[in-house]
Structure 1
Amino acid sequence: MIQLENLTKTFETPRGVVVAADKVNMTVPTGEICVLLGPSGCGKTTALKMINRLIRPTSGRILINGEDTADRNTIELRRQIGYVIQQIGLFPNMTVEENICVVPRMLGWEAKPAKARAAELIDLVGLDPHHFLYRYPKELSGGQQQRIGVIRALAADPPVMLMDEPFGAIDPINREIIQNEFLKMQATLKKTIMFVSHDIDEAVKMGDKIAIFRGGRIEQYDTPDRILSHPVNAFVADFVGADRTLKRLRLVTAEMIADPGTPAVARGARPQEALQAAKAHGGRTVIVIDANHRPVAYATVEELSGAHGTVGDFAHPLPATVPARADLRAVVSEMFANDVMWLACTDDQGRFAGVVTQPAVTAMLGQSSGQPLTN
């Protein structure tokens, strides 16, 4: 857990005293990601750098897991906090493995466990240890270098990580990939992370909490959903954007609002059997599945009424399916692309997992953010 208590930083300038951080108060629970967001010069990077004492506070306290960092040796403190910056800063004369092992070796780790840790982490971010551990930074793409920079900060298993626009210099495709890999890794490692960003979409995707800064102060500190649905003032509303309702689509996956009870029948099922299943459910559609329970087609109640033969004789191919884990932004995009009002969802094995509809999406967006985003 990270606690900032009345954290203040002032600088003397020829024009007078400048307040970079003005009584910042916030608590980041253990295992959560907090994104610091705001315009340039708002104090978010200053607040981040005070945590590992790259900038010394003028007043206030910083506690990590209940311990006041002012009582810690600066070098020891920094070695126990992972730090990732946009410029990466890999040592060009060291291999990837040597770069990752820098801090563990400084902390006295033996070579064997340090190397094992490097191999474990590089695998976590989707890079093959056999192909990448012995390369030099110049032999890697920018996106690959950024991944190494992230896991180097994790090598000594620090309880806290500080990240200053870590993906800002990466192209959009690689940024999305790295963000996804990082979130998978965080689901396993559960570090306490402070993350500076300028990008509201990145903040919504990455953060458990978001702190919106202005003029050295926190305007709002809350969950992404609360900030998007209930901005506390005009500044926050303008900053997160007029499309903030649509941004909430990132926060919900298809499986959270899908109807798993939509009837599914085999191709060889009799129309009357499928019709009874549809009526029992109260819906207008039946999903047709193959032998592996994968959705492949559909039929309507109107088509089933009075039909003969099997459902497969007149079922229509599905225009598309979506993974149940996909966020609703991707789901709605797929609906628009195929001009449909609903889509079948699939689980990680490709099996039928329910149907998500446009009315269900609309209902979700209309929910009060104080209510859980569930069916």
Structure 2
Amino acid sequence: MIELDNLTKVFDTPKGAVVAADHISMSVPSGEICILLGPSGCGKTTTLKMINRIVKPTSGKVFINGEDTTGMNTQDLRRNIGYVIQQIGLFPNMTIEQNITVVPQLLGWDKARYRERARELMAMISMEPDAFLKRFPSELSGGQQQRIGVARALAADPPVMLMDEPFGAIDPINRAVIQDEFLKMQQELKKTIMFVSHDIDEAIKMGDQVAIFREGKLVQHSSPDDLLAAPKNAFVESFLGEDRTLKRLNLVKVHEVVSDEIATVSPGDTLETALGRIDDYGYQNAILMVNDQRQPVGLITRAKARTTKGYCRDHFENVPATVTLEDDLRKVASLMFAQDATWLPCVDDEGRVYGQITQRAMTHHLGSRFRAHEAASRNPDSAVKE
């Protein structure tokens, strides 16, 4: 959907020519988010602005859906590209409805259509239309204004969106909420998005692809998982930080690591049975007790099963935590640390036990990518054959 072909920008300054973007070539498939990431002054925002010609390229081409934009009318080009900036840029003398519908009106939409579109978008960004559409930007919080900025960019239903640090000025709590809402919208809308950020955690969370820039050059362009597992050089590795293995926790879902083998007991089983299953399955501390619907209702500890007689229903402890198949490993690790646990039960959408996830399985999964990368680095020929 978006293709950059040797895109270059050279600024003339009193001290001479400055290359802000140096022969940038990359593509973003339809429906994906590509995060442009790098230190200040690396060329990521200049590259973004050349796509809608806010910055005129010195050389190179931009293709959108296969069409060379070089000869396109600048206004037509911009009206078909949604644009969101950190400073939001709402028109202060216009109502929220007027702000959202600026581009549809310029495109000649009739009044009923663009007003309905405004209401639809307000619902999409979780803001009540009747409560906000007639207000002015000054009557909204910063986070609310940023949501309106996103809605305005989506108003004419553009296939492409450009976003320049759109959530950077928002406090961490609201930023996380807006990021989550935006990702939910993206699952439905499937826009093709280029998104400038300075936050590696945001890039990993939001991006299908991440492009790392340095001094005007594109250094690495890959999926977040590949980026973290196999940084191209020392600069990328240092930029990602020493905790890049931990950052991968955000990318891996429980269903990728979970084992469907899990020992359980029922409330009517004896503690002797529970102890036998703990020993048979190699659990160190406890076994899960489930009801007739196979939902977790308690834990039988090894200590209790070893020292007490009776039935599980009379001697169980509460289950400290469960995880779902769609939880990420960062949440799992946090729960394990908080509960001093080495494993947690995993449940499906109906709350029934699906399996278990263990610390050992998590560390093996995370480490396997790094070990493969190191092996490929030592023996490039084998990596090519694979």
TM-score (ref. length: structure 2) = 0.88
Distance 1:210 1:90 in 2: 28
> What residue number does 2:86 align with?
86
Q: Check 1:86–1:73 CA distance in 2 against 1; reply closer, same or farther (3 A cut).
A: same
> Which moves more between the two structures, 24-33 or 248-257?
248-257
Residues 66-88 of structure 1, C-alpha deviations (whole Å, 9 max, x = no match): 00011211101100000000011
Distance 2:243 2:125 in 1: 32
Structure 1: gaps of 5 or more residues:
none
Q: CA deviation at 1:355?
A: 2.2
Distance 2:300 2:13 in 1: 73
The code of the aligned residue for 2:124 comes to: L
The code of the aligned residue for 2:163 comes to: M
> What residue number does 1:139 align with?
139
Distance 1:117 1:347 in 2: 37
Q: Check 1:296–1:239 CA distance in 2 against 1; reply closer, same or farther (3 A cut).
A: same
Residues 279-305 of structure 1, C-alpha deviations (whole Å, 9 max, x = no match): 88x453532235665433222578668
Distance 2:329 2:336 in 1: 10
Distance 2:370 2:358 in 1: 20
Q: CA deviation at 1:260?
A: 3.4
SS of the residue corresponding to residue 255 of structure 1 reads helix
> What residue number does 2:189 align with?
189
> What residue number does 2:384 align with?
none
Which aligned pairs between 1:154-193 and structure 2 lie closer than 5 A?
154-193=154-193
Distance 1:361 1:116 in 2: 48
Q: CA deviation at 1:164?
A: 0.2
> Which moves more between the two structures, 105-114 or 7-16?
105-114
> What residue number does 1:296 align with?
297
SS of the residue corresponding to residue 161 of structure 1 reads strand
TM-score (ref. length: structure 1) = 0.90
2:322 maps to 1:342:
no
Which aligned pairs between 1:1-375 and structure 2 lie closer than 5 A?
1-269=1-269, 282=281, 284=283, 286-290=287-291, 294-299=295-300, 309-368=310-369
The code of the aligned residue for 1:148 comes to: I
CA contact (8 A) 1:225 1:369 kept: no
Distance 2:320 2:53 in 1: 55
Residues 133-170 of structure 1, C-alpha deviations (whole Å, 9 max, x = no match): 33322222111111111121011111000000000000
The code of the aligned residue for 1:359 comes to: R
Q: Check 1:265–1:72 CA distance in 2 against 1; reply closer, same or farther (3 A cut).
A: farther
Distance 2:7 2:136 in 1: 40
Q: Percent identity?
A: 58
The code of the aligned residue for 2:152 comes to: R
Q: Check 1:286–1:125 CA distance in 2 against 1; reply closer, same or farther (3 A cut).
A: farther
Distance 1:353 1:262 in 2: 8
Q: Check 1:124–1:290 CA distance in 2 against 1; reply closer, same or farther (3 A cut).
A: farther
> What residue number does 2:377 align with?
none
Distance 2:189 2:54 in 1: 25
SS of the residue corresponding to residue 122 of structure 1 reads helix
The code of the aligned residue for 2:50 comes to: M
Distance 1:34 1:353 in 2: 34
Structure 2: gaps of 5 or more residues:
373-386
> Which moves more between the two structures, 189-198 or 116-125?
116-125
The code of the aligned residue for 2:317 comes to: H
Residues 297-348 of structure 1, C-alpha deviations (whole Å, 9 max, x = no match): 2225786689865322222212223344332122212211221112233445
> What residue number does 2:381 align with?
none
CA contact (8 A) 1:2 1:62 kept: yes
Q: Check 1:48–1:298 CA distance in 2 against 1; reply closer, same or farther (3 A cut).
A: same
Q: How many residue pairs were aligned?
A: 370
Distance 2:306 2:109 in 1: 72
SS of the residue corresponding to residue 92 of structure 2 reads coil
